[in-house]
Structure 1
Amino acid sequence: MESVNSSKPRYECLLFDLDDTLYPFSSGLSEACTNNIIEFMVEKLRIDEDGVVELNDILYKKHGTTMAGLKAIGYEFDNDEYHSYVHGRLPYENLKPDPILRNLLLSLPFRKLVFSNGDDTHVTKALKRLDIEDCFERIISFETLNPKIHDSCVSDSLICCKPAEIAFEKAFDIAQLNPYTTLFFDDSIRNIQTGKSAGLHTVLVGKSEKVYGSDYALESIHNMKEAFPELWSESNNKNKKPESIGYATQISIETSVQA
């Protein structure tokens, strides 16, 4: 039987998706992003407007991101231009500083990383708007998983991104993290399911009920302490910080937690 006072913590790292995870879907960024992608497909790639919505949905579901799908079926375009068009016009003003989330993150001495399919500029801008950019050890982004390689033998048409297993494997290797001691937060069921198969402990964010592949379900990232009080118990046992941050009365408990 595992000792309650075991010196080895169950979790050593917290791995977070960004979009619709560290901020809510209600921000409107996801809807705006989808509209920008469709506009890019029509305006830049000259795809027939009549079928573009359906094509976008098919590519996203099959390849993880529309960008990866477009590259896979033979469309050629500059990655930076795509990201600038799709993310550069998002309503970032809808994202506000989140002191509750900031206190939650800073009160935990575990390793904390962001793992996103978004590009560096998008991820950094969103984190800054939320005022949590300094809460993470590092960001694993599109550029991290897809470094620019000037080699004629390497195809630029193959994009590495979640939910592909190789994306998770690369992230583990780059960050030198052990999936079996890592808690993974994401709003995507597919990402959660791949993460679970890769050994991660999984938390589906934005949903009230668990699905296949998820160990926990949180309607809001603000409910972390409600769902995982052991994280704070472990952090207190580490004695890495002389003072504790009081925020219990600030945390919204209007959403449900399922474990």
Structure 2
Amino acid sequence: MQIQSSFKMDTQRIAGVKYECLLFDMDDTLYPLSLGINLACRKNIQEYMLEHLHIEESKVPKMCLDLYLEHGTTMAGMKALGYEFDNDDFHAYVHGRLPYEKLKPDFVLRNLLLSMPQRKIIFTNADHTHAIEVLSRLGLEDCFEGIICFETLNPINSYQRILCKPSVEAFEAAIRIVNVDPKKTIFFDDSVRNVASGKVAGLHTVIVGRSDLVPGADHALNSIHNIREALPEIWEVEECNQQQMIRSLAVEATVHA
């Protein structure tokens, strides 16, 4: 799977459905938080701050959290403070030692994704290498049209301000890149802040990993596996288009017979 610089809408495939595109966060959304990947990532970030940026050890944990809360990612916060480091080196250090072996093929989720008629795209703050590794481990690498990731939103490896979720600007950029109508797009994420920003950007929103609605969320899923029960409209064809689709399928079957 390559990073997509331009996305094209498959209008034939999505004709008649209420939603045209599904945007999925990846980490702690496509797999459960309980696997501990998030904690391992945070540990690696703190070690990078200590070993490579030489930040005082006693300050690292609080600084790591504060920057994450203020800037969306700790990395973006460190760049905003003026710390200079190579983005690729940072990602290689932080993600290169993650316990990826905890991620196993998810055949249930794979079948769900493949049954959805909409365009499906990953929208993550992580780098492309990490995204590919996670999707491959989950057996989902061919379930998505493309990936919007760190490199997509930040194409030049510079020391400028980093664009990332939950910035509404990042959502607006993603919508432009995907070339989709936000009113016909559903966004899935485990982050309350990201969901709130997605709603501001005009998306339909789903909070994943909890059963209660949060500000800005239209739906709540305990698990990504509960999509069909909570959002049956993803699979529903609008009644006015059903007969047309049936006729199209009949013609196609005749041609291939």
Q: TM-score range by the shorter chain?
A: 0.7 to 0.9
Q: Percent same amino acid among aligned pairs?
A: 58
Q: Shift in Å at residue 129 of structure 1?
A: 0.3
SS at match of 1:214: coil
Matched, 1:178 2:181: yes
Q: Shift in Å at residue 232 of structure 1?
A: 1.8
Relative contact order (C-alpha < 8 Å, sep 6+): which is higher? 2
Once the two structures are superposed, what CA deviation does each residue of 1:26-65 show, in whole Å capped at 9, x if it has no partner?
A: 1111000000000000000000010110001100000000
Matched, 1:202 2:210: no
Asked whether the 8 Å contact 1:106–1:135 carries over to 2, the reply is yes
Matched, 1:101 2:109: yes
Change (3 A) 1:241 1:147: farther
Q: Following the alignment from structure 1 to structure 2, what is the Cα–Cα distance between the partners of residues 241 and 65?
A: 47
Structure 2 portions without partners, runs of 5+? 1-14, 251-257
* Structure 2 equivalent of residue 50 of structure 1: 58
Q: Following the alignment from structure 1 to structure 2, what is the Cα–Cα distance between the partners of residues 142 and 49?
A: 27
Once the two structures are superposed, what CA deviation does each residue of 1:172-193 show, in whole Å capped at 9, x if it has no partner?
A: 1111011110010000011000
Matched, 1:22 2:33: no
Runs of 4+ in 1 over 6 A off after TM superposition: none
Change (3 A) 1:142 1:241: farther
* Structure 1 equivalent of residue 150 of structure 2: 142
Q: Following the alignment from structure 1 to structure 2, what is the Cα–Cα distance between the partners of residues 217 and 69?
A: 29
Q: Following the alignment from structure 1 to structure 2, what is the Cα–Cα distance between the partners of residues 58 and 234?
A: 45
Q: What one-letter code is carried by the residue in structure 1 that aligns with 2:166? A: P
Matched, 1:125 2:133: yes
Asked whether the 8 Å contact 2:17–2:235 carries over to 1, the reply is no
Matched, 1:220 2:228: no
Matched, 1:86 2:86: no
Q: Shift in Å at residue 75 of structure 1?
A: 0.3
Q: Following the alignment from structure 1 to structure 2, what is the Cα–Cα distance between the partners of residues 146 and 112?
A: 21
Asked whether the 8 Å contact 2:117–2:235 carries over to 1, the reply is no
Q: Following the alignment from structure 2 to structure 1, what is the Cα–Cα distance between the partners of residues 69 and 48?
A: 18
Matched, 1:112 2:123: no
Q: Following the alignment from structure 1 to structure 2, what is the Cα–Cα distance between the partners of residues 234 and 135?
A: 21
Q: Following the alignment from structure 1 to structure 2, what is the Cα–Cα distance between the partners of residues 84 and 30?
A: 16
Give the paired residue count. 231
Matched, 1:37 2:45: yes
Change (3 A) 1:241 1:46: farther
Q: What one-letter code is carried by the residue in structure 2 that aligns with 1:203? A: V
Q: Following the alignment from structure 2 to structure 1, what is the Cα–Cα distance between the partners of residues 235 and 167?
A: 32
Q: Following the alignment from structure 1 to structure 2, what is the Cα–Cα distance between the partners of residues 234 and 82?
A: 45
Quote the RMSD (CA, aligned, Å).
1.8
Change (3 A) 1:21 1:241: farther
Asked whether the 8 Å contact 1:180–1:199 carries over to 2, the reply is yes
Asked whether the 8 Å contact 1:145–1:161 carries over to 2, the reply is yes
Asked whether the 8 Å contact 2:18–2:236 carries over to 1, the reply is no
* Structure 2 equivalent of residue 13 of structure 1: 21
Q: What one-letter code is carried by the residue in structure 1 that aligns with 2:225? A: H
- Taking structure 1 as the reference length, what is the TM-score of the superposition? 0.86
Q: What one-letter code is carried by the residue in structure 2 that aligns with 1:215? A: D
Change (3 A) 1:241 1:134: farther
Asked whether the 8 Å contact 2:184–2:204 carries over to 1, the reply is yes
Asked whether the 8 Å contact 1:74–1:157 carries over to 2, the reply is no
Asked whether the 8 Å contact 1:14–1:184 carries over to 2, the reply is yes
SS at match of 1:159: coil
- Taking structure 2 as the reference length, what is the TM-score of the superposition? 0.86
Q: Shift in Å at residue 241 of structure 1?
A: 8.0
Q: Following the alignment from structure 1 to structure 2, what is the Cα–Cα distance between the partners of residues 234 and 138?
A: 24
Q: Shift in Å at residue 156 of structure 1?
A: 2.2
